[in-house]
């Protein structure tokens, strides 16, 4: 075969001087700049492009745009491979590779075809009917079905491309750069308004790129060129080609996916440029000039390669200079397909006949007849046949109702059938905006009705299919939008085109069959292989709602979202249920209009940018020391510091023993810190904590517990009085933001009169926690002017001075039960302080301590960690911390909540200690606790509670655990069992103060 045998010798918007080599299914072909993959395949005579999703039927190119329901390909290879791409929208580039979807071993010979022969076994809803029994079977069936169905293959390698997001504000965003969109942009742009004009194609012009039309007395494409030149000269107008307005959200927020380099070879694309850019546009006004989508006609075997929308055939001829067939039949129910007849004639395609469902005379048919082209009026194509490609069609006369045939059938030979069932306005964005659709009975389609946002539809998107109307409406909409956005600039005359007289459409939703009672394959959804019979079956089975029918039959649920098939589907459903089309209504249009890559949605937010990491000033030291980190909120904290050849267990034991026997140093900079000032600071503390704060002297610290107003524990921490009206509150590391927000909310919403000022100072300070019996000696060695003696710095006090020459606040608090100092220095000194303390501590056996050791040490003391030992359903009384609740205070947050009936009942889960009978056994955290000797056979087994904290205690040389257990405080000494997957562990309930219960050691 000669190269590109179906390429026309002249015309079209392709550059014949350059050839682009590409590979499809492993074979090399050539195309030209200006081609899409679809047009290049057609030019090379490749009719069979893919296999269908369910029945693996052969499929070709059926459209020339975003509505494509058949020609899906896997584009590219390796990490850049993209599944489910529409061949009709892939701009050809040199080196492009693509492959068919849904076929094995290849598109010519596909074993999945067996499912086509078995189609009677795969009716609508077959997933629900067949594979849900036995229930476990679905897990197996699903894998098999998914492999057979094939949705393309997602690459497993990381995406090598870069994506970005951009925000934009516009007075007017115009979706669609056809005649209406261009006219709108000119009218609005001339007033000085800031306009963004986005079009999904590489070239602006819409249907003008392939229709034979005149505007302002010259060829339409000249007008397009002049318009683009003028728009480019307007400083406030931005033209976005290859940009799909994908989503229309609330308050005129729209997303636009710009495919910046997809039309270039990945190797030729400039490296500094992102592959795609997601625009997030807030527009004062929106004009929807999104055009219309042609509908297929529903007859037997209407999915064969070679059957194409009439408008698409015209586009391939006039825009891409491709002859889509050698001998054509045209099947239509409206006037628009007659333009295709003219285009086919120009391209030298033999025309067997035009089959027009309309019985009466039309001007368009008359014109054809005058040119010697046969027109069969009141006829329909009822069947098509051929193997991998169309060979002939069967035609027959329709009766007056179009629900039955009125005469004998005959066959016509052809390799191309151009179909037009009328046009459906592309109302997707309008519908996403919340606008209500109205049914236009004359055109047989849904058009925009009542608007909900500041938008206007214009042209074909509004159901105005005549070019003159498109231009007039586009101009009017653009001008009105500019005026509404506050631009009084000059009006200009709208572009003009000769008006066309159109004969009315004859609605034909389903072509009658020549026989009764057979399940014919008349496809309504070509991507998901849904037939008219499937819709009828769903209706017979009782489906009435279009939303339910969609899900049951999967009509409209493919990658194409039913752009071509949805109206046919719901019209057939309306017929089957004796309802009217407007009453059946449409399914919900949801963003995006066409698929958006995850890469574009993620933008730069991948890898290190996915979630910012907070680091303390001491982080470089931890990293150099080889610490193993754990996430705590957005912080990364050292979990433990392994020694050479040391695992976690050994490291944690070593760190714990260092604190108990010598000294340890822990980076506690992540503790939340809130500076509180003002006349009413103490009132705030009294209201947000359960205990009283009026008696706290300057320089003293106090532990506090915070509740929500339901009485449940929310946070805890130590607050210190720094001055007369000045406090420093600390919060748990993970809860700092939540507590700060909580205080703000109460001050702003409930206690508006309080004179309190809050400042988040968490990162102003670096905190080194020095803990262990030798902590004082380390401080002395590091050098301090603060009296750190028992008398000079008693437990729960703060002193200000210097440590290692650095200005410091020295808090004598303890989370480990040992003598402990929390040294706060301005953050920029944090690393210097840490290094000095580590050096000074070397002589005393100092070890850096991670969070795991810290947790073990606090658990040995029975100290809770909020969020670990509590879960939002735990009160202070449940924790055995009734001592911290001052019921004499008139009110505090949670006080009334604590009196609720469920919170005062007996038998609530209470925090207790658990010691296993076998000291070597550690109960896994989260384990359920049951009565000792409870039968595990009789389900459900009554649960007494669960384990909240559990560790190996190096100091006690045994396991320890804390648990929330029903009535636990009255069960001291009672044996229970912890349930593990394969066994139970016996344990005895006791106190959770495992180590130094008298608290002697923390005074040092």
Partner 1 sequence: MLLIPCPWCGPREEGEFAPGGEGHIRRPEPQAASDQDWAEYLYYRTNPKGLHFERWVHAAGCRRWFNVARDTVTHEIRAVYKMSENRPEGL
Gap between the Cα atoms of 418 and 328, Å rounded: 7
Gap between the Cα atoms of 977 and 971, Å rounded: 13
User: Would you say 543 or 746 has its CB closer to partner 1?
Assistant: 746
User: Would you say 171 or 392 has its CB closer to partner 1?
Assistant: 171
Smallest gap from Cβ 542 to partner 1, in A, equals 29
User: Would you say 253 or 609 has its CB closer to partner 1?
Assistant: 253
User: Would you say 752 or 1000 has its CB closer to partner 1?
Assistant: 752
User: Would you say 18 or 896 has its CB closer to partner 1?
Assistant: 896
**How is residue 593 written in tokens?**
């209009």
The DSSP element (H or E) to which 244 belongs, if any, is strand 243-249
Strands 350-356 and 984-990 come out as unpaired
The DSSP element (H or E) to which 478 belongs, if any, is helix 467-484
What residues form DSSP beta bridges with 847? 664
Smallest gap from Cβ 297 to partner 1, in A, equals 38
Select from 212, 366, 399, 750 the one that contacts partner 1 (CB under 8 A): 750
User: Would you say 612 or 890 has its CB closer to partner 1?
Assistant: 890
User: Would you say 901 or 939 has its CB closer to partner 1?
Assistant: 901
Smallest gap from Cβ 252 to partner 1, in A, equals 8
Smallest gap from Cβ 753 to partner 1, in A, equals 10
User: Would you say 630 or 709 has its CB closer to partner 1?
Assistant: 709
Contact 234, 189 (CB under 8 A): yes
Q: Mention every residue, 6+ apart, whose C-beta is less than 8 A from residue 493.
A: none
In order of 224, 785, 1002, the CA distances from 994 in angstroms are: 84, 36, 15
Site string (418-437) toward partner 1, x via CB under 8 A = ----------------x---
User: Would you say 252 or 554 has its CB closer to partner 1?
Assistant: 252
Q: Does 741 bind partner 1 (CB under 8 A)?
A: yes
Smallest gap from Cβ 548 to partner 1, in A, equals 23
Q: Where are the alpha helices (H) located in 768-895, listed in sequence order?
A: 775-782, 830-841, 851-861
∠ at Cα 696 (691, 700), nearest 5°?
115
User: Would you say 611 or 891 has its CB closer to partner 1?
Assistant: 891
**Part in contact with partner 1 (CB under 8 A); list of ranges 103-111, 687-695, 696-704, 899-907:** 899-907
Q: Is the dihedral of CA 772, 776, 781, 786 positive or negative?
A: positive
- Shortest CA distance to 61 belongs to which of 41, 75, 76? 41
What does the buried/exposed string (b/e) look like for 399-413 if buried means 16 or more CB atoms within 10 Å of the residue's CB? eeebeebeeeeeebe
Q: Is the dihedral of CA 593, 598, 603, 609 positive or negative?
A: positive
The DSSP element (H or E) to which 330 belongs, if any, is strand 327-332
Q: What torsion, rounded to 10 degrees, do the Cα atoms 266, 269, 273, 277 define?
A: -60
User: Would you say 236 or 710 has its CB closer to partner 1?
Assistant: 710
Q: Does 250 bind partner 1 (CB under 8 A)?
A: yes
**Part in contact with partner 1 (CB under 8 A); list of ranges 248-256, 257-265, 469-477, 827-835:** 248-256
Q: Does 744 bind partner 1 (CB under 8 A)?
A: yes
**How is residue 211 written in tokens?**
């229709």
Which residue, chain included where needed, has tokens 């249920």? 577
Smallest gap from Cβ 691 to partner 1, in A, equals 17
For 359-404, give the DSSP string. -S--HHHHHHHHTT--EEETEEEEEEE-SSS--EEEEEEB-TTSSS
Smallest gap from Cβ 851 to partner 1, in A, equals 28
Residue 441: CB atoms within 10 A of its CB come to 11
Select from 709, 886, 925, 974 the one that contacts partner 1 (CB under 8 A): 709
Q: Does 710 bind partner 1 (CB under 8 A)?
A: yes
Q: Does 282 bind partner 1 (CB under 8 A)?
A: yes
User: Would you say 735 or 895 has its CB closer to partner 1?
Assistant: 895
Which residue, chain included where needed, has tokens 């604190």? 659
Smallest gap from Cβ 901 to partner 1, in A, equals 6
- Interactions with partner 1, residue window 854-893 (CB under 8 A): 890-891
Q: Does 745 bind partner 1 (CB under 8 A)?
A: yes
Q: Mention every residue, 6+ apart, whose C-beta is less than 8 A from residue 922.
A: 916, 950, 951, 952, 959, 961
Smallest gap from Cβ 683 to partner 1, in A, equals 16
Smallest gap from Cβ 990 to partner 1, in A, equals 34
User: Would you say 256 or 505 has its CB closer to partner 1?
Assistant: 256
User: Would you say 460 or 729 has its CB closer to partner 1?
Assistant: 729
Q: Residue 438: phi, psi to the nearest 5?
A: -125, 150
Q: Is the dihedral of CA 657, 661, 667, 670 positive or negative?
A: positive
* Half-sphere exposure of residue 769: CA atoms within 13 angstroms, side-chain side: 21
- Interactions with partner 1, residue window 903-962 (CB under 8 A): none
**Part in contact with partner 1 (CB under 8 A); list of ranges 497-505, 628-636, 660-668, 894-902:** 894-902
∠ at Cα 293 (289, 294), nearest 5°?
145
Q: Does 896 bind partner 1 (CB under 8 A)?
A: yes
**Part in contact with partner 1 (CB under 8 A); list of ranges 55-63, 193-201, 616-624, 744-752:** 744-752
Q: What is the size of the binding site for partner 1 (CB under 8 A)?
A: 26
Smallest gap from Cβ 752 to partner 1, in A, equals 6
Select from 599, 826, 845, 897 the one that contacts partner 1 (CB under 8 A): 897
Select from 109, 501, 752, 938 the one that contacts partner 1 (CB under 8 A): 752
User: Would you say 222 or 436 has its CB closer to partner 1?
Assistant: 436
Select from 895, 908, 909, 971 the one that contacts partner 1 (CB under 8 A): 895
Select from 900, 924, 933, 975 the one that contacts partner 1 (CB under 8 A): 900
Smallest gap from Cβ 454 to partner 1, in A, equals 11
- Shortest CA distance to 380 belongs to which of 405, 363, 360, 350? 405
User: Would you say 225 or 744 has its CB closer to partner 1?
Assistant: 744
User: Would you say 218 or 745 has its CB closer to partner 1?
Assistant: 745
Select from 749, 791, 938, 1000 the one that contacts partner 1 (CB under 8 A): 749
Q: Does 253 bind partner 1 (CB under 8 A)?
A: yes
Smallest gap from Cβ 280 to partner 1, in A, equals 8
Select from 126, 127, 138, 249 the one that contacts partner 1 (CB under 8 A): 249
Q: Is the dihedral of CA 55, 56, 60, 62 positive or negative?
A: positive
Q: Does 165 bind partner 1 (CB under 8 A)?
A: no
User: Would you say 284 or 318 has its CB closer to partner 1?
Assistant: 284
Q: Does 901 bind partner 1 (CB under 8 A)?
A: yes
Smallest gap from Cβ 456 to partner 1, in A, equals 18
Q: Does 452 bind partner 1 (CB under 8 A)?
A: yes
- The DSSP call for residue 588 is P
**Part in contact with partner 1 (CB under 8 A); list of ranges 126-134, 245-253, 375-383, 643-651:** 245-253
∠ at Cα 185 (168, 242), nearest 5°?
60
Q: Does 157 bind partner 1 (CB under 8 A)?
A: no
∠ at Cα 818 (817, 822), nearest 5°?
100
Query: In three state form, how does the secondary structure of 492-557 look?
Result: CCCCCCCCCCCCCCCCCCCCCCCCCCCCCCCEEECCCCEEHHHHHHHHHCCCCCHHHHHHHHCCCC
Residue 939: CB atoms within 10 A of its CB come to 6
Contact 664, 846 (CB under 8 A): yes
Instruction: List contacts with partner 1 (CB under 8 A).
Output: 249-253, 280, 282, 434, 452, 709-710, 741, 744-745, 748-750, 752, 890-891, 895-897, 899-901
């Amino acid at each position: 075969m000669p190269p590109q045998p179906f390429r026309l010798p002249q015309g079209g918007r392709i550059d014949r001087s350059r050839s682009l080599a590409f590979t499809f299914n492993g074979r090399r072909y050539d195309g030209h700049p200006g081609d899409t993959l679809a047009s290049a395949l057609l030019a090379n005579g490749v009719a069979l492009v893919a296999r269908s999703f369910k029945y693996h039927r052969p499929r070709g190119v059926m459209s020339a745009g975003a509505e494509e329901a058949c020609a899906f390909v896997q584009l590219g290879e390796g990490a850049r491979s993209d599944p489910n791409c529409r061949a009709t929208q892939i701009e050809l580039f040199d080196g492009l590779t693509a492959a068919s979807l849904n076929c094995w071993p290849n598109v010519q010979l596909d074993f999945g075809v067996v499912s086509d022969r078995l189609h009677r076994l795969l009716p609508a809803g077959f997933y629900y009917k067949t594979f849900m029994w036995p229930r476990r079977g679905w897990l197996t069936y699903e894998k098999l079905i998914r492999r057979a169905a094939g949705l393309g293959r997602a690459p497993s390698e990381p995406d090598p491309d870069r994506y970005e997001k951009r925000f934009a504000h516009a007075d007017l965003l115009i979706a669609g750069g056809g005649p209406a969109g261009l006219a709108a942009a000119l009218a609005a742009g001339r007033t000085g308004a800031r306009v963004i004009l986005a079009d999904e194609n590489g070239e602006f012009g819409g249907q003008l790129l392939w229709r034979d039309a005149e505007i302002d007395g010259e060829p339409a494409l000249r007008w397009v060129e002049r318009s683009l030149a003028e728009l480019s000269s307007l400083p406030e107008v931005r033209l976005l080609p290859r940009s799909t307005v994908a989503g229309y959200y609330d308050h005129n927020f729209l997303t636009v996916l710009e495919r910046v380099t997809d039309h270039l070879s990945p190797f030729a694309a400039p490296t500094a440029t992102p592959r795609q850019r997601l625009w997030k546009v807030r527009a004062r006004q929106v004009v929807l000039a999104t055009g219309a989508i042609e509908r297929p006609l529903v007859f037997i075997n209407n999915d064969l390669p070679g059957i194409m929308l009439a408008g698409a055939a015209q586009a391939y001829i006039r825009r891409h200079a491709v002859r889509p067939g050698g001998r054509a039949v045209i099947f239509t129910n409206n006037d628009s397909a007659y333009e295709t007849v003219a285009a086919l004639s120009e391209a030298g395609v033999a025309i067997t006949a035009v089959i027009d469902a309309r019985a009466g005379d039309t001007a368009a048919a008359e014109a054809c007849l005058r040119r010697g082209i046969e027109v069969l009026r009141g006829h329909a194509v009822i069947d098509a046949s051929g193997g991998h490609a169309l060979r002939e069609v069967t035609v027959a006369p329709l009766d007056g109702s179009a629900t039955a045939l009125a005469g004998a059938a005959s066959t016509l030979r052809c390799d191309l059938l151009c179909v037009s069932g009328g046009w459906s306005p592309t109302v997707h964005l309008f519908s996403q905006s919340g606008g209500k659709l109205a049914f236009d009975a004359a055109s047989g389609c849904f058009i925009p009705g009542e608007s909900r946002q500041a938008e206007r539809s214009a042209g074909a998107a509004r159901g105005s299919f005549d070019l003159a109307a498109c231009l007039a409406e586009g101009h009017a909409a653009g001008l009105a939008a500019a005026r509404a956005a506050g631009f009084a600039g000059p009006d200009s005359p709208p572009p003009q085109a000769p008006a066309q007289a159109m004969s009315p459409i004859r609605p034909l939703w389903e072509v009658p069959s020549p026989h009764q009672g057979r399940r014919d394959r008349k496809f309504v959804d070509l991507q998901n292989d849904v037939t008219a019979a499937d819709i009828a079956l769903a209706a017979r089975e009782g489906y009435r709602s279009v939303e339910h029918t969609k899900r049951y039959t999967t009509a409209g649920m493919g990658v194409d979202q039913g752009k071509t098939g949805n109206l046919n589907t719901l019209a057939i459903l309306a017929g089957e249920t004796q309802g009217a089309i407007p009453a059946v209504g449409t399914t919900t249009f949801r963003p995006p209009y066409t698929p958006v890559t995850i890469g574009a949605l993620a933008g730069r937010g991948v890898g290190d940018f996915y979630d910012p990491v907070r680091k303390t000033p001491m982080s470089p030291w931890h990293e150099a020391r080889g610490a193993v980190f754990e996430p705590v909120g957005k912080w990364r904290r050292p979990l433990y510091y392994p020694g050479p050849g040391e695992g976690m267990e050994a490291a944690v034991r070593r760190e714990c023993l260092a604190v108990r026997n010598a000294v340890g140093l822990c980076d506690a900079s992540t503790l939340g810190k809130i500076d509180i000032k003002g006349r009413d600071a103490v009132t705030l503390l009294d209201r947000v904590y359960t205990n009283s704060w009026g008696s706290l002297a300057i320089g003293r610290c106090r532990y506090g517990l915070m509740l929500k107003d339901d009485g449940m524990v929310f946070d805890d921490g130590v607050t210190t009085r720094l001055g007369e009206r000045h406090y420093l509150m600390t919060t748990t590391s993970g809860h700092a933001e939540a507590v700060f927000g909580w205080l703000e909310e109460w001050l702003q919403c409930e206690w508006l009169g309080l004179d309190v000022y809050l400042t988040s100072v968490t990162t102003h300070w670096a905190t080194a926690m020095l803990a262990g019996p030798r902590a004082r000696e380390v401080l002395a060695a590091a050098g301090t002017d603060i009296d750190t003696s028992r008398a000079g710095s008693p437990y729960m006090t703060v002193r200000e001075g210097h440590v290692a020459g650095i200005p410091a606040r020295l808090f004598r608090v303890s989370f480990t039960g040992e003598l402990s100092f929390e040294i706060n220095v301005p953050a920029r000194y944090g690393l210097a302080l840490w290094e000095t303390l580590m050096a000074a501590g070397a002589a005393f056996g100092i070890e850096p301590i991670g969070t795991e050791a810290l947790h073990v040490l606090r658990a040995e003391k029975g100290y809770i960690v909020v969020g670990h030992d509590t879960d939002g359903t735990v009160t202070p009384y449940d924790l055995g911390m009734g001592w911290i609740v001052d019921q004499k205070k008139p009110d505090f947050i949670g006080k009334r909540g604590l009196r609720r009936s469920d919170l005062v009942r007996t038998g609530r889960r209470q925090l207790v200690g658990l010691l296993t009978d076998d000291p070597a056994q550690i109960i896994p955290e989260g384990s359920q606790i049951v009565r000792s000797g409870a039968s595990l056979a009789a389900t459900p087994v009554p649960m007494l509670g669960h384990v909240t904290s559990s560790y190996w205690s190096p100091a006690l040389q045994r396991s320890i655990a804390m648990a929330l257990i029903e009535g636990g405080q009255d069960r001291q000494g009672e044996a229970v069992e912890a349930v593990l997957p394969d066994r139970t562990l016996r344990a005895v309930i006791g106190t959770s103060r495992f180590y130094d219960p008298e608290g002697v050691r923390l005074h040092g």
